[in-house]
Amino acid sequence: MLIRSQDKKSLINLRNIESIDIIGYDVEGTISTQDEENANTWYIAYSGYEKMLYIGRYSTEAKAIKVLDMIQMANFRVEKMKMIYSHSGHLSNSCIQDFTFQMPQDEEVNNDYTK
C-alpha cells in the first residue's frame, strides 16, 4: 500500500516504513514547545531508512489518532484483498499493490474520536 502525504509532495511505500507515529506539541500535555506555531499541533510521521518525514498535520490528538486508525483499516483491507484474490486470480497483485491512501486534510477529519 502507498501513502500520499497531506501536501501531496511525497509518496511512501508502506513496506519501507519502520513505524508511523503521532508526534504532539500540546502546551498543556507532556510534550511541550516554546514554538507557538507548533503549539497544540499533532503530526503524523513515518520513519524508515534512518529518516523521519511528517506526512500529516492535525489540530487535535483525537484527529491524528483517527487518521492513524484510517491508515490501519486501509492497510487491513488491502492485505485482506491480497489474500482473497491471490487464490482466485481475478485481481492482479499490481492493482492491489498500487492502492494509495491519501492523508486527509485537518478539516476533513471529525474530532469525535474517544480513547
Give 70: exposed, middle or buried? Use CB within 10 Å, 0-12, 13-18, 19+. middle
Tell me how many domains the chain contains: 1
CA atoms of 4 and 44, how far apart (whole Å): 12
* 111 within domain boundaries: no
pLDDT tens-place string over residues 36-46: 566 678 999 99
Average pLDDT over residues 79-106: 75
Average pLDDT over residues 33-60: 80
* 115 within domain boundaries: no
* 114 within domain boundaries: no
* 41 within domain boundaries: yes
Quick check: 82 pLDDT over 80? Answer: no
* 110 within domain boundaries: no
Report pLDDT for 83. Answer: 78
Cell numbers found for residue 46:
513515518
Cell numbers found for residue 40:
497544540
Domain membership of residue 24 as a residue range: 2-105
* 113 within domain boundaries: no
Cell numbers found for residue 89:
486470480
